[in-house]
Amino acid sequence: MISLIAGVFFLVILTVLTIILLPKYTTLPGVDGSDNNSSENITSPIKQANSIADQVNLKSIETSLQIFFSEYGHYPNSLDELKSQGSLNEEINIANYSYQVCDSSAVEVVVFSTGGELGVNLNNGVSQQTSSQNCY
Residues 74 and 66: their CA atoms lie apart, in Å, by 9
Q: What is the model's pTM?
A: 0.65
User: Residue ranges of the domains in the chain?
Assistant: 40-136
Angstrom distance (rounded) from CA 1 to CA 12: 17
pLDDT in tens, 81-117: 999 988 888 888 888 888 989 888 888 899 888 766 7
pLDDT-derived band of residue 4, with 50, 70 and 90 as boundaries?
low
- Type of residue found at 5: I
Q: What are phi and psi of 127, to 5 degrees?
A: -115, 150
Q: What is the DSSP letter of 23?
A: G
Taking only the tens place, the pLDDT of each residue in 39-55 is 666 778 888 888 888 88
